[in-house]
């Protein structure tokens, strides 16, 4: 409709410029750096694929991959079950339900790092509320030993993440729930289905798309986890909660091995893209069926 097509370039130019300088350039640089011994300070040296070979001899890297995948596998279903329960409670138009929805959604707006600090305080043995409740109930002697074992540390971090993200996932699921025509539930009930059967055979199948979407978001988010492990567990105990991003950060800015960190970044990128691809395939298959 606008005859001077070239004018379009002018409108798109600022966005393109930013993307080229601050996204494409760094992206290309990641690949280039990964082929160098590139200390944060000091001399840069070409070393070919040595950084990639070094990964195989880096026990913490292997552990971080394992841990990140475990974390994604643990947190995703947990968020789901909680969010689904919330969505079922918040579905409908009883009195106050809107208020409840708002309040449950509220932690979503809090930053992950802020929420992590909040939980560090609540989990602390001397000043935290959990230890105080535990002592009052006689469950713990002095403090909550949440850094005693990798499992406990994981539970502590997951509790925070569920608290922060369940409300958002509830909203996503509500969108799906509300798109199911009520006649379907009605029909199922007339056919003699109980509440559970109705949920299992009507609600869940019809929400497949929403569920997969939430699943995808949760998995991608978990693969990039950093704040909660940097702040709440500090990677401990015994390096049991070092995520991939954490290990990249550590190599680049604590060990000053920027080249190696770049190689790790590319592995992370590959993992994230693979996860996206898998999710894409999953979507298509089911849609065709």
Residues 94 to 153: which contact another protein by CB under 8 A?
Answer: 94, 96-97, 100, 102-114, 117-122, 124-129, 131-132, 135, 141-143, 145-148
Per CB under 8 A, contacts with another protein among 10-29 are 10-12, 14-19, 21-27, 29
Nearer to another protein, 183 or 265 (CB): 265
Answer whether 52's CB lies under 8 Å from 263's CB: yes
Within 225-254, the residues that bind another protein by CB under 8 A are 226-227, 231, 234-239, 242, 245, 248-250, 252-254
Comparing CB distances to another protein, the nearer of 3 and 183 is 3
At closest approach, how far in Å is the CB of 9 from another protein?
Answer: 6
Residue 231 DSSP class: I
Nearest approach in angstroms of CB 150 to another protein is 12
Does residue number 194 form part of the binding site for another protein (CB under 8 A)?
no
**Which residue from 70, 151, 179, 255 is in contact with another protein, where contact means CB under 8 A?**
255
When asked if residue 272 is in the footprint of another protein (CB under 8 A), the reply is yes
Buried b (16+ CB within 10 A) or exposed e, 242-279: bbbbbbbbbbbeeeebbbbbbbbbbbbeebeeebeeeb
Give least dist CB 15 to another protein, A. Answer: 4
Helices of type H across 34-181: 50-56, 59-90, 97-105, 112-123, 129-136, 150-178
Burial of 172 (0-12, 13-18, 19+ CB in 10 A): middle
Phi first, then psi, for residue 192 (nearest 5°) are 95, 15
Between 193 and 267, CB nearer to another protein: 267
Could you tell me which stretch among 70-78, 162-170, 180-188, 193-201 binds another protein (CB under 8 A)? 162-170
- Report the helix count and the strand count for the chain, using DSSP H and E: 15, 2
Residue 95 DSSP class: T
Instruction: Tell me 3's DSSP state.
Output: S
Which positions from 27 to 66 touch another protein by CB under 8 A, shown as an x/- string?
Answer: x-xx--x-----xxxx-----------x--x-xx------
| Rounded least distance, CB 41 to another protein, Å | 5
CB atoms within 10 A of CB 94: 10
Task: For residue 78, state whether it binds another protein (rule: CB under 8 A).
Answer: no
d(CA 253, CA 21): 22
Smallest gap, in angstroms, from Cβ of residue 181 to another protein?
20
Which CB atom, from 161 or from 183, has the smaller least distance to another protein? 161
Name residues whose C-beta falls within 8 Å of residue 112's C-beta, 6 or more positions apart in sequence: 164, 227, 228
* Both tokens assigned to 6: 């070239």
Q: Measured from the CB of residue 16, what is the shortest distance to another protein in angstroms?
A: 6
Assess 175 for contact with another protein (CB under 8 A). Answer: yes
């Amino acid at each position: 409709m606008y005859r001077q097509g070239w004018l379009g370039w002018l409108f798109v130019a600022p966005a393109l410029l930013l993307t080229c300088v601050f996204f494409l350039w760094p992206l290309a640089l990641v690949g280039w750096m990964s082929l160098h011994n590139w200390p944060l300070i000091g001399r840069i040296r070409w070393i070919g694929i040595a950084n990639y070979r070094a990964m195989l001899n880096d026990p913490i890297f292997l552990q971080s991959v394992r841990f990140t995948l475990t974390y994604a596998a643990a947190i995703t279903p947990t968020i789901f079950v909680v969010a689904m329960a919330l969505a079922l409670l918040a579905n409908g138009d009883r009195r106050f339900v809107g208020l409840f929805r708002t309040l449950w959604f509220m932690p979503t707006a809090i930053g992950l790092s802020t929420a992590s600090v909040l939980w560090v305080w609540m989990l602390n043995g001397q000043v935290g509320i959990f230890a105080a409740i535990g002592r009052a109930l006689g469950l713990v002697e002095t403090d909550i030993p949440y850094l005693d074992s990798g499992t406990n540390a994981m539970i502590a971090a997951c509790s925070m993440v569920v608290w922060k993200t369940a409300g958002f996932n509830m909203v996503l699921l509500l969108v799906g729930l509300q798109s199911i025509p009520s006649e379907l539930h009605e029909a199922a009930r007339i056919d003699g289905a109980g509440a559970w059967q109705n949920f299992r055979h009507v609600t869940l199948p019809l929400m497949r798309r929403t569920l997969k979407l939430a699943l995808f978001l949760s998995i991608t988010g978990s693969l990039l986890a950093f704040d909660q492990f940097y702040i709440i567990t500090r990677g401990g105990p015994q390096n049991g909660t070092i995520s991939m991003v954490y290990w990249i950060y550590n190599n680049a800015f604590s060990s000053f091995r920027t080249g190696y960190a770049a190689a790790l970044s590319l592995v992370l990128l590959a993992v994230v893209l693979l996860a996206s691809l898998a999710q894409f395939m999953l979507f298509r298959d089911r849609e065709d069926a």
